[in-house]
Structure 1
Amino acid sequence: MKVLFLCVANSARSQMAEGLARTKGGFFEVVESAGSSPSGSVRPLAVEAMKEIGVDISKHYSKAMSVFDLKTFDAVVTLCAEEICPLVPAPCRHLDWAVEDPAGDFPGESHEQKLQRFRVARDAINAKMDAYIAENSK
């Protein structure tokens, strides 16, 4: 299966999804991630949260969805929750795995509190991915 994970900035959720998908025993043949408005970098807390589970995304970089021909993917997965998701043109198979954006700075929040938001997002993405794989491996 060829899959593209999309969010707005391509700095956290879609990057974590790309990293997770690469660990799924070959279920995904081609894995990419992109954003509708790429930030230009991957959030260090996303890298740290993934490193905790043995997945290295430190060499990933933020990409624009315009660099891909979306029609070449078997599925395009959007991960946006509260913000406006990128539009996925027909006839692409669109999956919506809404996950709250872990990025953000809140006054007085500790590093551990910030990191915990990224862990929650990572684990939510992983659970959705595992459920999808289980459902589609039959």
Structure 2
Amino acid sequence: MKPGILFVCLGNSCRSIMAEALTRHYLGDSVTAASAGLNPLGFITPETLQVLIELGIEVEGLYSKGLSHVDPEAYSLLINLTSRPVTFSLPPDCRHRLRNRPVPDPYGGPLELYRQCRDRIRELIISELAALFH
């Protein structure tokens, strides 16, 4: 079974969605990527989709979902993209696999803020995660 990465943010409409899509693009079939929100908004912002499409990243099949809709125990690595603690939302057996990599939330900001967020997450994937999973 291939390793999995679960990205967590607050609304699952910007950061963790970007991370899921970017991981699938850059790491391909070497990992399973998923995302979830602590308090999901139930939609992906148009700006999030736009900045992914700008790089030719596939967005089909992405959707906003809560942490209760995924099984954190099924993932070998969990990445918290918020500055908030998320351990209380995770089963105890998962907490040692959690890494905090806070990225500022672009929600409600200008398009350039979404691009900065995307680029920061892309750098995390390329510099840190690719080394772990390739």
Q: TM-score, normalised by structure 2?
A: 0.86
Among all aligned residue pairs of Structure 1 and Structure 2, give the percentage whose two residues are the same amino acid: 31
Computing the radius of gyration from Cα coordinates, the structure with the larger value is 1
Map 1:1-138 onto structure 2 (within 5 A): 1-26=3-28, 28-57=30-59, 59-81=61-83, 84-87=84-87, 88-92=90-94, 93-105=97-109, 114-136=110-132
Q: Distance in 1 between matches of 2:45 and 2:9?
A: 13
Q: Distance in 2 between matches of 1:5 and 1:128?
A: 12
Contact 2:12-2:44 within 8 A present in 1 as well:
yes
Q: Alignment RMSD, CA only?
A: 1.8
Q: Distance in 2 between matches of 1:16 and 1:103?
A: 12
- CA offset digits 1:18-73 (Å, max 9, x no partner): 00000124364211111011001001000001111001325421101111221110
Aligned-partner residue type, residue 79 of structure 2: V
Q: Unaligned regions of 5+ residues in structure 1, if any? A: 106-113
Q: TM-score, normalised by structure 1?
A: 0.83
Contact 1:27-1:133 within 8 A present in 2 as well:
no
More helix by share: 2
Q: Distance in 1 between matches of 2:46 and 2:115?
A: 13
